[in-house]
Homo-oligomer: A and B are copies of this chain.
Amino acid sequence: MPRKSITSYDVAKAAGVSQSAVSRAFSPGASISKPTREHILKVAGEMGYQPNAIARSMSTARKDIHQKSGMVGVIVTRLEDPFFAQTIAEFSRGIQAQGWQMLLFTVDTEAEVDTALNTLMQYKIDGAIVLSAILSDQMARACNTQGIPVMLYNRSAEGLNASSVEIDNHEGGRMAADILLEAGHTRIAFVGGEEGDATSTRRQTGFEERLAEAGRQIFRHETGDYTFDSGREAALRLFARKDRPDAVFCASDVMALGVLHAARNELGLRIPEDFSLVGFDDIPSAGWAGHALTTIRQPVRRMIKDAVDNLVESMESPALPPRIRRFEGRLIIRNTVRQVGSSSP
């Protein structure tokens, strides 16, 4: 027995004004006298009236102007990953704080991003955030002609008409190499993401570059998929052979924790006595006492605030050109890297 919800006409009748007046009472800058607005708001409150956001969005469509829905679409893969969970949580708060709603779309592979965005566009989102994935050139153009700004997070744009916010992966890779070289390591392994993964590739490139400056190169390369289990398996492979690495750099904390747990509890190795370990991201569990993972921290809060602010600006001024922003990571020294001098007898 659902009843029809009450509309601005109902309120108008009850308040003895026109429907336009009711609409104006609920529009912040509208031209309406203070007493009229207050009276209407009072009557509306008593009746439990709430403006219909869908109808508002509908009527907001004008010639050559993108229809405003008040919603921003967010596309994410692997939401169960702590790094993304934290990211989505921050985005959600940030978007709400600015008065927008978040339409969330979960995708399993990067290939689905275009389709997801397409679906979201049918809902007339005012802007889109794509996490750790890239969209096609064609899709970027479609967003562009429809006046929908796109923000790439944890990826960068390169020629696509999209803003982006990401960590300086190359420099982060260099930092990781730095501390491992400083500790005197020589057989340094790298556990990265799958072949072609942009983030992992950049971290690796920076890492190798710094290694090369010291006359070294990666001792062994393993591939994972950013899950704990893939880190665990990489560790098993890494330490199965006789010539073991004396240090491991992982392209993410989650994988590093997989390495750490497998090494300590399945392989009986000590960290950092038997090998040093460095991660990337600084997710909450990296700091837990029993992990104390040395890692490269991403300033997530600042990065997300920047991303949200920039997207909001673009949604409000569609003419704004896209902006690419890169943040610096910071080395967080905890207990998984051998101290200089404390190693050799």
Chain B contacts of A262 at CB under 8 A? 289
Partner among B3, B92, B122, B145 whose Cβ is within 8 Å of the Cβ of A3: B145
Chain A interface, number of residues (Cβ within 8 angstroms): 70
Residue of B nearest to A144 (CB): B2
* CB within 8 Å of B: which A98-131 residues: 101-106, 118-124
CA distance A89 to B70 in the complex (A): 23
Partner among B67, B85, B264 whose Cβ is within 8 Å of the Cβ of A54: B67
Mark interface residues in A280-305 (1 if CB within 8 Å of B CB, else 0). 00001100111110000000000000
Partner among B81, B106, B289 whose Cβ is within 8 Å of the Cβ of A96: B106
Residue of B nearest to A73 (CB): B101
Chain B contacts of A71 at CB under 8 A? 103, 123
Chain B contacts of A120 at CB under 8 A? 101
> For the complex, is A4 an interface residue (Cβ under 8 Å from B)?
yes
Instruction: Known A103-B71, A261-B290; judge A2-B147 contact (CB<8 A).
Output: yes
CA distance A53 to B73 in the complex (A): 14
Within the oligomer, what is the number of copies of this chain? 2
One of A57-65, A151-159, A192-200 at the interface = A57-65
A282 vs chain B, min Cβ distance (A): 14
> For the complex, is A86 an interface residue (Cβ under 8 Å from B)?
yes
* CB within 8 Å of B: which A238-268 residues: 257, 260-262, 264-266
* CB within 8 Å of B: which A42-101 residues: 48, 50-55, 57-58, 63-67, 69-71, 78-82, 84-86, 88-89, 92-93, 96, 101
Residues of A near any B CB (own CB < 8 A) = 1-5, 48, 50-55, 57-58, 63-67, 69-71, 78-82, 84-86, 88-89, 92-93, 96, 101-106, 118-124, 142, 145-147, 228, 232, 257, 260-262, 264-266, 284-285, 288-292, 318-319
